């Protein structure tokens, strides 16, 4: 066999390996993209939960389970467990619920964007008014996916 044929076969094997690696990388990128979207959804829920503050005032409370009376001398965000039965449900003063108004939305929301030049997907993890250019081709045009 000539050395050109051997070189061609070796290059074909390398190309096959490269294609397999690319397919593996593509599958991993797809899985990571799905995980990012799930994490962003969880972050949004956490942010929404953090925007509501529940505070139970001081006073006398009675356990719903066993009727044990308790006096709380300081306000609580979550009532402690009943000393008698361990329940967290009480009858007593209604909590004060405070909603924190979020700042106005930014121009670009959290999410997945696609480069209009090379179609590479980019994750924006925080709301922003300006997107950075594509890491692959440098284009400044990204669109939401």
Q: Which of 32, 51, 70 is the last residue of a domain?
A: 51
Is residue 77 located within the same domain as residue 116? no
Give the model's pLDDT for residue 97: 84
Domain that holds residue 2: 1-51
One pLDDT digit (tens) per residue for the chain, 145 residues = 579 889 989 999 999 999 999 999 999 988 998 898 899 889 888 888 778 888 999 999 999 999 999 999 999 988 999 999 999 999 988 888 888 887 788 888 888 899 999 998 888 888 888 888 888 898 888 888 8
Is residue 137 located within the same domain as residue 107? yes
Residues sharing a CB contact under 8 Å with residue 53, sequence separation 6 or more, in sequence order: 77, 97, 98, 99, 100
Residue from 59, 54, 90, 89 nearest 73 by CA: 59
Report how far residue 69's alpha carbon sits from residue 60's, in angstroms, rounded to the nearest whole number. 7
Give the model's pLDDT for residue 122: 85
Is residue 3 located within the same domain as residue 43? yes
Q: How many folded domains does the chain comprise?
A: 3
Q: To which H or E segment does residue 143 belong?
A: strand 142-144
Judge contact between 26 and 121, C-beta under 8 A: no
Is residue 45 located within the same domain as residue 57? no
Helix, strand or coil, per DSSP, at residue 130: coil
């Amino acid at each position: 066999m000539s050395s050109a044929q051997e070189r061609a076969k070796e290059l074909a094997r390398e190309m096959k390996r490269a294609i397999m690696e690319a397919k593996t990388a593509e599958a991993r990128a797809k899985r990571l993209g799905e995980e990012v979207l799930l994490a962003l959804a969880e972050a949004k829920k956490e942010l929404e939960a953090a925007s509501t503050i529940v505070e139970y005032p001081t006073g006398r409370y009675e356990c719903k389970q066993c009727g044990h009376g308790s006096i709380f001398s300081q306000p609580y965000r979550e009532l402690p467990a009943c000393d008698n039965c361990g329940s967290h449900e009480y009858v007593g003063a209604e909590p004060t619920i405070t909603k924190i108004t979020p700042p106005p939305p930014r121009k670009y929301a959290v999410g997945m964007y696609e480069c209009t030049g090379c179609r590479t997907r980019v994750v924006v993890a925080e709301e922003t008014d300006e997107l950075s250019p594509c890491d692959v081709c440098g284009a400044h045009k990204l669109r939401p996916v």
